[in-house]
Structure formats: structure tokens, C-alpha cells
Amino acid sequence: MESVIKTYDISREYIEYPSFFKRIRGEGSRIIVAVDNLNISVHRGELFGFLGPNGAGKTTTIKMLSTLLLPTKGTATILGNDILKAPNEVRKRISVVFGGERGLYWRLSGRDNMRIFAELYGLDSSERMDRIDMLLELVGIADRADSKVETYSKGMKQRLHLARGLVHDPDILFLDEPTLGLDPTIAHELRKTIRNLCTREKKTVFLTTHYMFEADELCDRVAIIHRGTLIANDTPENLKRQFGTVTPVTILLRGVVPQVEHVLTSRKGVHYVESGIQDNTTKLKVGLDQDKVCVEDIVSLLEKTHEIISVEQGSPTLEDVFLELTRS
Ligand SMILES: Nc1ncnc2c1ncn2[C@@H]1O[C@H](COP(=O)(O)OP(=O)(O)OP(=O)(O)O)[C@@H](O)[C@H]1O
Ligand SMILES: [Mg+2]
């Protein structure tokens, strides 16, 4: 399979100073290793998820791959072009869309924003209008294209960002938390649009997200990084099979039972316990390592003091895998 993104021990360190004056004097510096010898490869047409806790190095990696930031060591190729030797070639073939609301002209309409970006990319005027119409349609904001951006909802702005990112018809899109802060319905719609970019438009998408179900639903493969280091890289299915040692179990107890989780947290094999109260029942979510403790043990322990309404055993989710791998 053709690798359109390939990294070679790519690394980035930042030097941090405790204050502005110490920076000027060059005193008290501290090195932060944001990305540490990362080796990944992304195939053409793939929707690749890049996951990791806050500060893991995701945005830093995207910035390096998109030539916004130089690596301190190693390199990468984008469609065969080295990011250090041929940054201009790389820039022509990629696009970066950061989540959030910045980077648009709020006083202008969505269509006028698109015109500006199309002009910046040097699209000739005959193809410009058709392409803009097509992209606004593709991301689903054609009906509001002539309203000012300041009247757009968050989801619409995010869609416009995506349309803007597609103006010069890039082969690869880097999306940094594209569904951040969107309501579930809008996020769902946007995910469909992103999926279509790969299946219909044959784009390669490199995406970061903190929503594990999103990565599970959307991505062909995911890489998980922790403190700048790659710790897993496979399809969501394989990762769940390989690392999903924690089985989520939902137990419903009659009545409001405060602090019931204390009975379970110290038990061997119990990875986590969460509780919530609804309609005079207490819902417990327990993560069990079934090699060390079985569901029956937990049930009989709880039965001694509480009335159990139901027990439901789920299968490990990508979130369980993520929590397990990034715990230390
Ligand atoms: N300009 C900078 N100067 C100093 N340190 C930085 C700078 N940018 C990022 N870092 C540090 O590098 C590490 C990685 O940051 P990065 O933004 O890449 O993480 P991330 O995975 O995108 O996190 P998040 O999920 O919170 O967006 C963090 O420790 C961060 O504090
Ligand atoms: Mg980030």
C-alpha cells in the first residue's frame, strides 16, 4: 500500500524559560520533549486517527508535517516530498484545519471568505465560482453561503473551515480536533462529511480527536501517542482485541446508594468504578479485568448489602483501551 505520509524518527523539543527576563538572559531553561522519535505511516485514502492525552504531542506533529514547525530531529515525507527539502511542494498538496473559530473573516459572508482563500491559492476566476459552490454544497452550508460568518453557529463555522481547507484541492487534510465543542447532532453530520472526503473525494485524512467513540466510528487506523512516544498503532478493532482486557459492566442497584464505589475500588481486577443516580436507582459502571476477577464475584459482593436490578456486560471500547494504555 502506498504511504502518503511517512515519518522518520521525527522529534521536536521546545525550550521553556520560567520568565520573559530569564529568556532574554538565557537562564533556567528547561527542555520539553513534545515528540520523541515518532515513526508512523499513513496510506493513501486512509482516515487516520492520531490520539493521545492533552500535551501528548499531536498538534506539534501536525505542525511539523504541515511545515509550520521544524523538527529538531528526523523528518517526514508527504507524497514522497521531504518536509525539510521540499516544503513548498508539500504545502501545495496538503491543508490544515484547526478546530475552533479563528481564521475566518467574521464580517464577510461564507462565500466571500471562500473567494478570498481561492484567490490566495491562485485559482483562476473561471473555475473559482464553480469550485466554491461545489465545496459549500459538499460541507452542507450552501443555503447560508451569503450570510455573514458572525451569524453562523459553531458547527457552520467549522464546516466553512473545512470547505476553506479544500479550496486548492489538496490530497491530504490534517484536521486538528474538528468536532471540538460541537453538539452531538452537528458532530455526527460533520463526521459523515469527513468520511465522504475519503470515500468519495479520495482524500487522505489525518485527524486528531479526544472523542474515542468518534475515532472508533470514523477511523480506518489509529495511532495512540503518550508523552511524545507512539504506544499503539492499528485498526480500532485490532486494538480492542489486543489491549481490551478491561470489560465494562453496568450494574443497576435499587435506591440511592451513596459512595457504593468504595466497596469495589480496592478489589483486585477492578480498574475503575463510576456511579450515577437516576429515578431512585444507582447505576454503577465497573471496568473489570476478567482474568483477575469475574462478574459473579462482584455481583455476590454487592448482593450482600444491596438489591441488584440488572447486570449488563459490554465489550471493551476504544476508550477503555485508551485509558488503559495512557494510564501511567
Ligand atoms: N510553543 C511551545 N513552547 C513550549 N512548549 C510547547 C509549545 N507548544 C507545545 N508545547 C508543549 O509540547 C507538548 C505537546 O504539546 P501539543 O500541543 O503538541 O500537544 P497535544 O497532543 O496537541 O495536546 P492537546 O490534546 O491538549 O491539544 C506539551 O507539553 C506542550 O506544553
Ligand atoms: Mg492539540
Q: What is the Å distance from ligand 1's center to 120 Cα?
A: 29
Whether residue 96 sits in one domain with residue 165 = yes
CA pair distance 252, 284, nearest whole angstrom: 6
Burial class of 37 by CB neighbour count within 10 A (0 to 12, 13 to 18, 19+): middle
Domain of residue 174 covers 3-241
Whether residue 318 sits in one domain with residue 194 = no
What's 206's domain CATH number?
A: 3.40.50.300
Whether residue 86 sits in one domain with residue 219 = yes
CB 49 within 8 A of CB 219: yes
Q: Who contacts 218 (Cβ-Cβ below 8 Å, separation ≥6)? A: 47, 49, 191, 194, 195, 207
Least distant ligand from the CA of 55 = 1
Sign of the dihedral defined by the CA atoms of residues 238, 242, 247, 248, in that order = negative
Best mutation site among 10, 23, 29, 59 for ligand 1 pocket (most ligand atoms within 8 Å of CB):
59
Q: 93: closest CA among 173, 160, 194, 159? A: 173
Q: What is the Å distance from ligand 1's center to 98 Cα?
A: 14
Whether residue 321 sits in one domain with residue 274 = yes
CA pair distance 222, 126, nearest whole angstrom: 40
Whether residue 137 sits in one domain with residue 50 = yes
Q: What is the Å distance from ligand 1's center to 29 Cα?
A: 17
Whether residue 86 sits in one domain with residue 109 = yes
Whether residue 293 sits in one domain with residue 153 = no
Beta strand 204-208 with 229-234: parallel, antiparallel or unpaired?
Answer: unpaired
- Position 160 scores a pLDDT of 93
State pTM to two decimals: 0.86
Whether residue 261 sits in one domain with residue 141 = no
Least distant ligand from the CA of 224 = 1
User: Across the strands, what pairs with 47?
Assistant: 205
Instruction: Tell me how far CA of residue 288 lies from CA of 154, 213, 327, in angstroms.
Output: 38, 20, 15
Burial class of 197 by CB neighbour count within 10 A (0 to 12, 13 to 18, 19+): buried
| Ligand 1, atom 11, residue with closest C-alpha | 34
Whether residue 262 sits in one domain with residue 229 = no
Domain boundary among 191, 211, 241: 241
User: Across the strands, what pairs with 97?
Assistant: 175
- Position 201 scores a pLDDT of 86
Q: Which atom from ligand 1 is nearest to the alpha carbon of 59?
A: 22
Grid cell at residue 238: 485490532
| Ligand 1, atom 27, residue with closest C-alpha | 54
- Position 278 scores a pLDDT of 87
Taking phi first (over 0 means left), then psi (-120 to 50 degrees means alpha), and beta for anything else, what does residue 9 get? left
CA pair distance 256, 271, nearest whole angstrom: 23
Grid cell at residue 208: 486528531
Burial class of 194 by CB neighbour count within 10 A (0 to 12, 13 to 18, 19+): buried
| Ligand 1, atom 25, residue with closest C-alpha | 54
CA pair distance 96, 63, nearest whole angstrom: 9
Residue in the block written with cell 470514523: 218
CA pair distance 233, 165, nearest whole angstrom: 27
What's 260's domain CATH number?
A: 3.30.70.260
Instruction: Tell me how far CA of residue 162 lies from CA of 8, 41, 63, 178, in angstroms.
Output: 28, 23, 17, 9
Whether residue 249 sits in one domain with residue 235 = no
Domain boundary among 241, 272, 287: 241
- Position 70 scores a pLDDT of 97
Q: What is the Å distance from ligand 1's center to 277 Cα?
A: 37
User: Across the strands, what pairs with 286?
Assistant: 249, 273
Residue in the block written with cell 462529511: 193
Whether residue 183 sits in one domain with residue 274 = no
CA pair distance 248, 250, nearest whole angstrom: 7
Q: What is the DSSP string of 126-173?
A: HHHHHHHHHHHHHTT-GGGTTSBGGGS-HHHHHHHHHHHHTTT--SEE
Q: What is the Å distance from ligand 1's center to 274 Cα?
A: 30
Residues having CB within 6 Å of any atom of ligand 1: 14, 16, 32, 34, 52, 54-60
Whether residue 38 sits in one domain with residue 93 = yes
Mean pLDDT by 10 residues, the chain (328 residues): 94 91 85 97 96 96 97 98 97 89 88 93 86 91 94 90 92 93 86 91 94 94 97 96 87 89 87 88 90 88 91 90 85
For the chain, how many structural domains are there in total? Answer: 2
Domain boundary among 206, 241, 276: 241
17 backbone dihedrals φ, ψ, rounded to 5°: -115, 150
Least distant ligand from the CA of 211 = 1
